[in-house]
Chain A
Amino acid sequence: MLKGFKKTAKVNRSLRLFTGLLLCGLAISNTHAAKFQLEKRQSIGLEFKQFAHSSPSIDHNQDGSLIWQGNYRLSWQNDRGQLANELTIAPIIRYNSQDHERSKVDFKSLSWTKIEPNWELRTGIRTISWRTTEAVNLVDIINQADASANIDDEDKLGQAMVNWVWLNDHFSFELLALPFFRERIFPGDDARLRGVYSIDTDRPEYASKAENKRLDAAMRFVLLLDQWEIAISHFSGTSREPILFLTDPQLAELRPFYPVIEQTGLQIEYATDNWLWKLEAITRNGFTLPSQFLSGLPSAMPSRYSAAVAGFEVSLPPLFNPDYDYSLLTEYLWDQRRGEALANDLFIGLRIGFNDLQGSELLLGSIIDLDRQEYLTFIEHSYRNNSNGKIDLTVRLFDAPGNASSRALETDFFELHNDDYIALSYTQYF
C-alpha cells in the first residue's frame, strides 16, 4: 500500500499546481456569465476475475476489484448565449483485492476549457485519445497507459497539459505542452497477468536529464474532406512506452527505461456506404537502450523504426435476424522490427448489436500471430439488467505453443499462456 500512497502524494503536488492554474483561468474568464449547466455521471462497479490455470509463481486464481468513477461537467455561456466555458472533473478510485499497483486514486480529467468559435484552450489534466483502428492504437501517445488495469493498454492515466486548438468545419490544428510525465503502471509482483519477470517500477531510468520533469510537446493537424479524415501528428518527448531491461539475469527482474523519442503519426479514415477503411502508421526515432543498460549484450534496436495497422470495419447485411446489427472487423498489424510482438499479426472480429431492450452487445475477436501461430482470443458480452445496471462478461484465451525457457521473451502471448481468464462485472450507474 505504501508504494501506492507515495505515488499518490507525487500526483497530489502536480494536482495542486493545476488547481491553482484552473482557478486563475476561471477568474479571468467571463465573470458575468449566464446559464450554468451541470452534467454528472457516476458509477460503482464490482469486477471478479477467475483464472483458468494456476500460475507457477503466484498463488491465487481469483481477483476482485471495486471501481468508483465520477464525471462532472459544468458549462456556462457567454453574453451571446453560446457555450463558452467548461469545467470537467473526473475522478476514479479503484481497489484491487490482490494487487496494490492496481489500486489507485486518480483523475481522468480535472480541466478547464475556454471555447471560442474558432479556437479552444483546454488546460489541466485530461485524457485524450487519438484512435482510428481497433486492434492497437499506435499514434495515440499523449496519455500514459495503466497496464495494470487491462492488458490492452486502453486504460489511460490523466495527463497534465495546455492544449490550444485552432479549428473550423474543415480542419483543426492543435498544439500541446505536456508537463509532468507519468510512469506506466504495471501489474505488481504478486499479480496475475504480469508476465514471467517482475518489474521494478521504483527505479525507473530516463534518457532526459530532467527525468520525469521534462516538458514534452506535441502537435496534430486534422483534415476533414467529405468522406475522408486525415490526421498528421508529431510528438517530441519522453516515451510513454518504456524499454524494459534486465538488470541481472540471475534476478529475473526488469527495470523500465524511458527514452526521449520523436514520433510522427499518420491516421486515415475513409467512409463509403457500409465500409470504414482505417489506417494508423508511425515512425519513431530514439527508442533505444543506452549501452550502460545493455549488460554487455549487443543492441538489436534500430534507432528509427516504423509500424502500421490497417484494415476495415463493414456493416454486414442481416444474417440470421433482421433486427441485429452485424459488423466485421479486420486489421493487419505490421512492425518493422520483426521480432517484436504484434509485428505480423492479423486481427479479426465480429460485433453484434442485438437491438433489444437490454442493449445487448457481443464482440468476438482473435489476434493471430502469423509468424508463430499464436492466438489471443476474446469474447466480450454486455447487457443492461435494469435501467441503471450493466453486466459485462469478458473471456480472454492466450494460446502459445512452446516452453518457457526458450520462448518467453520472443513471443507475443507466451508469458500470459497460464493467464486465460473469465471476468464478470456489474456496474451500477447513478
Chain B
Amino acid sequence: MTNTLANKKIFSITLLLIIFIAPLSARLVSAEQSSSESDQAQKAYDIMAESDRRDIGWQDSTANMTMIIRRADGREVIREVTTKTLEGENGKDKSLLFFAKPLDVKGTVFLTHSFPLEADKQWIYLPSQNRVKRISSKRKTGRFMGSEFTFEDMAAFSLDKNNYRYLGETECGEPLQACHIIETRSKDPYTGYEKTISHIDKTELRSWEIDFYSRRTGKLSKQLRISNYQLYLDKFWRPDQLSMLNTTTKAETILKWHEQQFNIGLADSEFRKAALERRQ
C-alpha cells in the first residue's frame, strides 16, 4: 500500500514538472530547436527522396504473391495473387491483381490507377456477378483482403504525401548494418496512423523494420519486418518477404513474393477498365 502511495506522489510531482516547467524550458530552446527541427526534417526528406529516386526506371513488373493470414489462435487462410504493375510518371502507377486462391474468389481482378495526391481509381471484376464494378475510394484503414495490411499500407509510395523527421541512427537488416531512423507522418486526413518509424540501411536505403502507431490510441499497433532482399536488373532491391504483426491481437500476415520480374514490356492497354470487361 505505502509503496503504491509513494509511487503516486512521485508520479504527481513528475506530472507537475511536466505541466509547469516543460513549457518554460520549451520556450527557451524553441528558437534553437526549430532550426534543428527543420534540418532533421530536411535530412529525412533527402534520404526518402533519394530512396524514391533510386526506384525509378523498372518500367513494369510481374510477380506472384502468397499471403498467409494467421490469427492469434493459429487459424489461417492462404491467398495467392498474381500482380502486374506498370510504372508511371510521378507515382502514377497502374496495377492489376489477379486472384488465384482461395478458389471461390479465383478469377477476381482488381485494377488500380494510383495518383500522387488525388484519390486512386479502383475497379473490380467479380466473376460470380460477371460484372466490372467501380469501387469508391475505400476507407484507408480498411483491411486489405482481410489481412493485417490496410489499403493504406498497400498503396504506392508517394514522397510528397508525407512529412518526415530524422530521429537518429541504429543498426538493422541482414547482415546487421548502420541504419537511419526516420519518422513519417502522413498528410492525408484519412490516415489510420499517427506516425510510422522506419529503419533504413545507409548504403542501399532499404527499409527493414517499420513500426506503425495508431492514430486512435497514439500507441504502437503493428510491426512490419522486411527480409530477403534481392537485387533485380542490377539496380532495384526488392524484398521477398514481409511480415506484419498486430502487436495488440498478435495476429500476423506474412506476404511472400515469388518470381518477381521487371522490365518485361507490358502494354498500357492491359491496365484499362476495358481489359476487365473483356473477361465477361
- What is the interface of chain A, defined by CB distance below 8 A to chain B? 39, 41, 71, 73, 80-83, 86, 108-109, 113, 115, 117-118, 120, 122, 126-129, 131, 154, 156, 165, 167, 169, 172, 224, 227, 229, 269, 271-276, 313-315, 317-318, 322-323, 325, 355-357, 359, 384, 387-390, 427, 429-430
Binds A, one of B19-27, B41-49, B198-206, B260-268: B260-268
- The answer, yes or no, to whether B134 is at the interface (CB within 8 Å) is yes
Q: Is there contact, CB below 8 Å, between A71 and B278?
A: no
- The answer, yes or no, to whether B119 is at the interface (CB within 8 Å) is yes
How far, in whole Å, are A131 and B129 apart by their CA atoms in the complex?
11
**With known contacts A167-B274, A315-B139, A429–B146 Cβ distance under 8 A:** no
At the interface, is chain B mostly helix, strand, loop or mixed? loop
Q: Give chain B interface residues in 150-164, CB to chain A under 8 Å.
A: none
Q: Is there contact, CB below 8 Å, between A384 and B102?
A: yes
**With known contacts A71-B107, A357-B71, A314–B136 Cβ distance under 8 A:** yes
- What is the interface of chain B, defined by CB distance below 8 A to chain A? 69, 71, 75-78, 101-107, 119, 121, 127, 129-131, 134, 136-139, 141-143, 146, 264-270, 272-274, 277-280
At the interface, is chain A mostly helix, strand, loop or mixed? strand
Q: Return chain B residues, CB-CB under 8 Å to A315.
A: 136, 138-139
Q: Is there contact, CB below 8 Å, between A355 and B142?
A: yes
**Smallest Cβ-Cβ distance to A82: which chain B residue:** B267
Q: Is there contact, CB below 8 Å, between A224 and B267?
A: no
Q: Is there contact, CB below 8 Å, between A429 and B136?
A: no
Q: Return chain A residues, CB-CB under 8 Å to B75.
A: 357
Contact of A172 among B71, B146, B274 (CB under 8 A): B274
Q: Is there contact, CB below 8 Å, between A169 and B272?
A: yes
Distance in angstroms from A151 CB to nearest chain B CB is 16
Q: Is there contact, CB below 8 Å, between A359 and B102?
A: yes
Q: Return chain A residues, CB-CB under 8 Å to B101.
A: 387
Q: Is there contact, CB below 8 Å, between A82 and B265?
A: yes
Contact of A357 among B146, B265, B279 (CB under 8 A): B146
The 4 residue pairs across chains A and B that have the minimum distance between CB atoms: A429-B103, A390-B104, A355-B143, A357-B77
Q: Is there contact, CB below 8 Å, between B280 and A128?
A: yes
Q: Is there contact, CB below 8 Å, between A81 and B265?
A: yes
Contact of B119 among A117, A273, A387 (CB under 8 A): A273
Q: Is there contact, CB below 8 Å, between A387 and B102?
A: yes
How far, in whole Å, are A384 and B277 apart by their CA atoms in the complex?
26
Q: Return chain A residues, CB-CB under 8 Å to B269.
A: 82, 115, 117-118, 167
**With known contacts A117-B267, A172-B274, A356-B146, A71–B127 Cβ distance under 8 A:** yes
Q: Is there contact, CB below 8 Å, between A359 and B137?
A: no
Q: Return chain A residues, CB-CB under 8 Å to B136.
A: 271-276, 313-315
